[in-house]
Structures are given as structure tokens and as C-alpha cells.
């Protein structure tokens, strides 16, 4: 089974821009993986941010956007806010299964 | 309003089984697939599988096949996750999550609050 890779940690300044990526050991990430992004804050259940690589949930702030970039799925945060400090997980869809990445701890500092 | 409320924390001995419940409110359980995801302490998320509450069909992640059983009781709007032959590395928070779109397999909304299962001798 493929392993889904993410940066373990990233730091962004308030108001800054950062891109989190999501790769697959089985090859390029494509729209066929229907990439998902989830946000999880300490002590809370995760929440869906992005589905199908770039579609936003109704609650997803406009400063978040999803894309495919260089064979990976990407989550870009433009204009980071302190409340965006959280863990971010991607999930890729494979035949009959979903596989989460290890998560990226995003610090806004 | 759509809610998923899970059962309380459990402590189990290695080799035992645990059954976690997830009660749905605000919608009809049989109308949406239910997934289960777990998270070991300080670790990432792990997808375990889903159940179609309409007909009871299940799909389990390969890692858990043979140890996991997902069931439902539509009369009380509740889905269940049972994990057998527990090991210490099964210690985790277990979440149920509704697949809110038939077109998007892992579009989860909402999630339950999570149930901590601790496996310890």
C-alpha cells in the first residue's frame, strides 16, 4: 500500500503565505486520488477543509486553497491567522481505501 | 442539526474486544455511509473503513481485516465499531465520521467527538 507523505512541521508568520504538500510513494498525486485536506486543533476532532483537491467546505476560510503542484497535492494558506495554527492532514483515495498522510504541524509565529 | 455522539472511554486488557458506539441525530442513519478513523496518542489519523448503514455492507482497511467489525442498528440510529484481539498499539481515540456526499468518499461531516480506548494490562 502506498505511503502518503507530508512535511512534519512548517512555520509561517502572521499574514504570511505557506504551502503544505501531500505526496504518494506510488507516484504522482492526481485528481484521481481526490485529495482531501483536514484541519485538527488540539483536543478537537478533525474538520474537512478541502475535497477533490481544490473544492472548499462551506466553512473553509477563503485564505485556504487547494491545488495539484509538481506531482503532489498542495494546501496553500495566504494571509495566515493565529487561529490557523493546527495539524493538517491530507488523505488520498486509492481503490477501496483511504490513506492519510502523517500530518503537518503548522505554527503561526 | 446533524450530530454524532460516541460512547465513553474504555479501558481494556490485551486480547480483549471493545465495541464503540456512534449515535446519529438530525438525519437518517441509513442515508449516509459511516466511516471510522483512529488516532493514537500524539500520532496521525488512520482510516479504518466504512459501513453502509442502509444494507450493512462494509469495507475495511486491509490492516484491520479479521479484527474489525462495523455494524449498525438503524432502529436506534447507531453505528458500532468492534475491534478484537486488542494490543497495546490499539490505544487510540476512535472517531466515527459521516460521509456527507455520495460523490466524495472521504468528505466527512460531521465527526463524532471521539472515544478513547486504552489497552493496558
Report pLDDT for A65. Answer: 97
- What value does the mean pLDDT take over residues B27-45? 97
Is there a contact between B106 and A51 if contact means CB atoms under 8 Å apart? yes
Give the number of residues written for chain A. Answer: 109
Instruction: Check: CB of residue A84 under 8 Å from CB of residue A14.
Output: no
Q: Show the low-confidence residues of chain A (pLDDT under 70).
A: none
Verify whether the Cβ–Cβ distance B45 to A103 is below 8 Å.
yes
Contacts of B4 (CB under 8 A, 6+ apart): B22, B23, B24, B25, B96, B97, B98, B110, B111, B112, B113
Dihedral over Cα of A20, A13, A82, A109: its sign: positive
Cα dihedral A17, A4, A53, A59 in deg (nearest 10): -70
Q: Is B76 on the interface with A (CB under 8 A)?
A: no
| Neighbouring residues of B32: CB distance < 8 A, sequence distance ≥ 6 | B53, B98, B99, B100
Residue of B7, B9, B1, B6 lying closest to B120 (CA atoms): B9
Q: How far apart are CA A2 and CA A53, in angstroms?
A: 18
Q: Which of A34, A45, A93 sits opposite B111 (nearest CB)?
A: A45
| pLDDT band for position B66 (cuts 50, 70, 90) | very high
Name chain B contacts of A57, Cβ cutoff 8 Å.
109
Q: Name the 3-class secondary structure at A44.
A: coil
pLDDT of residue B67: 97
- Those residues of chain A whose CB sits closer than 8 Å to some CB in chain B are 1, 34, 36, 38, 40, 45-48, 51-52, 57, 89, 91, 93, 96-103
Amino acid at each position: 500500500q502506498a505511503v502518503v507523505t507530508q512535511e512534519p512541521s512548517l512555520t509561517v508568520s502572521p499574514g504570511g503565505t505557506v504551502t503544505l504538500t501531500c505526496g504518494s510513494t506510488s507516484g504522482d498525486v492526481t485528481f484521481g486520488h481526490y485529495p482531501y485536506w483536514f484541519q485538527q486543533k488540539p483536543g478537537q476532532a478533525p474538520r474537512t477543509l478541502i475535497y477533490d483537491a481544490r473544492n472548499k467546505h462551506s466553512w473553509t476560510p477563503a485564505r485556504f486553497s487547494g491545488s495539484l503542484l509538481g506531482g503532489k497535492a498542495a494546501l496553500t494558506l495566504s494571509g495566515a491567522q493565529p487561529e490557523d495554527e493546527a495539524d493538517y492532514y491530507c488523505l488520498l483515495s486509492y481503490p477501496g481505501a483511504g490513506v492519510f498522510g502523517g500530518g503537518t504541524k503548522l505554527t503561526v509565529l | 442539526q446533524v450530530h454524532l455522539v460516541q460512547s465513553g472511554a474504555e479501558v481494556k486488557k490485551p486480547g480483549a474486544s471493545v465495541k464503540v458506539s456512534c449515535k446519529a441525530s438530525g438525519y437518517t442513519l441509513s442515508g449516509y455511509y459511516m466511516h471510522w478513523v483512529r488516532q493514537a496518542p500524539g500520532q496521525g489519523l488512520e482510516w479504518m473503513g466504512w459501513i453502509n448503514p442502509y444494507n450493512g455492507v462494509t469495507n475495511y482497511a486491509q490492516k484491520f481485516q479479521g479484527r474489525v467489525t462495523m455494524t449498525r442498528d438503524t432502529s436506534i440510529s447507531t453505528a458500532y465499531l468492534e475491534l478484537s484481539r486488542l494490543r497495546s498499539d490499539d490505544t487510540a481515540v476512535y472517531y466515527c465520521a459521516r460521509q456527507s456526499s455520495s460523490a466524495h468518499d472521504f468528505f466527512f461531516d460531521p465527526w463524532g467527538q471521539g472515544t478513547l480506548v486504552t489497552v493496558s494490562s
